Amino acid sequence: MWQDLAHRTREDLEKAGIRLFLKHRALSIYNSEKTVEIIDELERKAFFAYDRLVLATGAAPRRLGIPGIDLPGVFFLRWMDDGLKIKNHLASKRPQKIILIGGGYIGMEMAEAMLHRRLQVEVVERSQLLLKNVYPGFSRRIQTELESHGASIHTDFTVEKIELKGEKLHVIGSKGRPIRADMVLIAVGCLPQTELAASAGIRTGINGAIKVTRRMETNIPGIYAAGDCAETWNRVLNRYTYQPLGTVAHKQGRAAGENAAGGDKTFAGTLGTQSVKIMNLVYARTGLLAEEAVRAGYDPVSSRIETYDHKSYYPGASSLQLMITADKKTRRLLGAQVLGFVGAEISKRLDILATALYHQMAVDELEDLDLSYTPPLSSPWDPVQTAAQAWAQEH
């Protein structure tokens, strides 16, 4: 049931002392009076006073500026309501073919979900590669995985409009003939929802996200912001970025809430650590790609290895690939990527590297880590250490 997705029930929250005002919307913030104007579902307005205010207005789907995005059968996916609408459409209309516009993380997860429903899946991506911010060889392997399960991939395809002809939706773009389907899902990223903040004089920055300090404070005293509506401190770049990730939102929210309640907590920053399951594969990354490191002023060099996830003589061993990127001069780890099969403990390997990156370790230091070993799960030299040794030998 969809209700199982909720972390806690309304009763749980109210028992914790939180008063909920559902079906209410904030209209304006009057920071000089420390009040927020609210309107409920019956159009009744009221003013809520505050001592400190936390903004967590999130983000909204990025909408393609093209004709046809509001046609019946065209969906975005951001909130629970969006998911329920898609689920109801699948149940009532029983589409046979779906076009997914966007080859990023959400697009890949939705491709898998629709393939499991035995739908014909067409993925349309503007860039030349799926998951464009990954090592190209990994991207091509992911595309092959999707194609092996029946998906059709259209890269370097810029969508120009969506049309409804009869009962079919036509996605028309730069690749000539239109692609026809019964349903279209657009997943091309998101933008911060900061109109309420901006109207109150709260400063915004990257992608229109709210500018915050490391304590999640805005430029207005007593007002904090966290999550997908706010900028994010990046520990590797040593500057603010915009990274709307669930893990980041949780940590920012904790800092904003503690500080609003009188505490003193600093958001430690993000590394951009994330992972995605795509059919039988798992891809994970942390830190910077080589080209990102160059733009940040580093002198990066990378090494890639392919090895087994555990001792090859033990049944079930499968191959995985690791890429390590580090600064040539300082040998400081800058980023890593891992690709392998489900069950190969890809996230474990990536999280080791993310922890090393958090602590600004040099690649050579990875060899000294005391990592667990048993033949069904690893080797005396874990794949992470094997990758570090390869990097050290090459550079």
Phi, psi of 77, deg, nearest 5: -135, 110
Strand-pair category, 300-308 with 281-287: unpaired
Handedness of CA 72, 77, 82, 87 (dihedral sign): positive
Question: Average pLDDT for residues 193-215, to the nearest whole number?
Answer: 96
In a domain, 245, yes or no: no
Token pair listed for 327:
């600064």
DSSP conformation class of 71: S
Examine the pLDDT at 49 and tell me if it is beyond 80.
yes
Average pLDDT value for the chain: 95
Report the number of distinct structural domains present in the chain.
Answer: 3
In a domain, 131, yes or no: yes
Count the Cβ atoms, other than its own, within 10 Å of residue 390: 17
- CATH classification of the domain holding 303: 3.30.390.30
Where does the pLDDT of residue 270 fall: very low under 50, low under 70, confident under 90, or very high at 90 and above? very high
> How much is the pLDDT for 174?
84
> Does 136 lie in the same domain as 46?
no
> Does 351 lie in the same domain as 390?
yes
Q: At what angle do helices 136-148 and 105-116 cross, to 10 degrees?
A: 20
Of the residues 142, 166, 190, which one is the last residue of a structural domain?
Answer: 190
- Report DSSP letters for 345-388, one per residue: -HHHHHHHHHHHHHTT-BGGGGGG------TTT--SS-HHHHHH
> Does 38 lie in the same domain as 156?
no
149 residue type, one letter: H
Examine the pLDDT at 144 and tell me if it is beyond 90.
yes
> How much is the pLDDT for 24?
96
In a domain, 235, yes or no: no
Of the residues 165, 190, 215, which one is the last residue of a structural domain?
Answer: 190
> Does 68 lie in the same domain as 43?
no
In a domain, 247, yes or no: no
**What is the C-alpha to C-alpha distance for residues 25 and 14, in angstroms, rounded to an integer?**
19
Look up tokens 């999280």; give the residue: 351
> Does 86 lie in the same domain as 163?
yes
Look up tokens 């007002």; give the residue: 223
In a domain, 12, yes or no: no
Question: Average pLDDT for residues 233-252, to the nearest whole number?
Answer: 96
> Does 45 lie in the same domain as 66?
no
> Does 185 lie in the same domain as 65?
yes
Of the residues 149, 164, 190, which one is the last residue of a structural domain?
Answer: 190
Pick 13 or 210 by higher pLDDT: 210
Token pair listed for 100:
């997914």
**What is the C-alpha to C-alpha distance for residues 213 and 160, in angstroms, rounded to an integer?**
39
> How much is the pLDDT for 6?
78
256: left (phi over 0), alpha (psi -120 to 50) or beta: alpha
In a domain, 313, yes or no: yes
Q: What is the pLDDT of residues 85-116, one digit of tens each?
A: 999 999 999 999 999 999 999 999 999 999 99
> Does 105 lie in the same domain as 31?
no
Structural domain for 45, as ranges: 22-51
> Does 175 lie in the same domain as 74?
yes
- CATH classification of the domain holding 129: 3.50.50.60
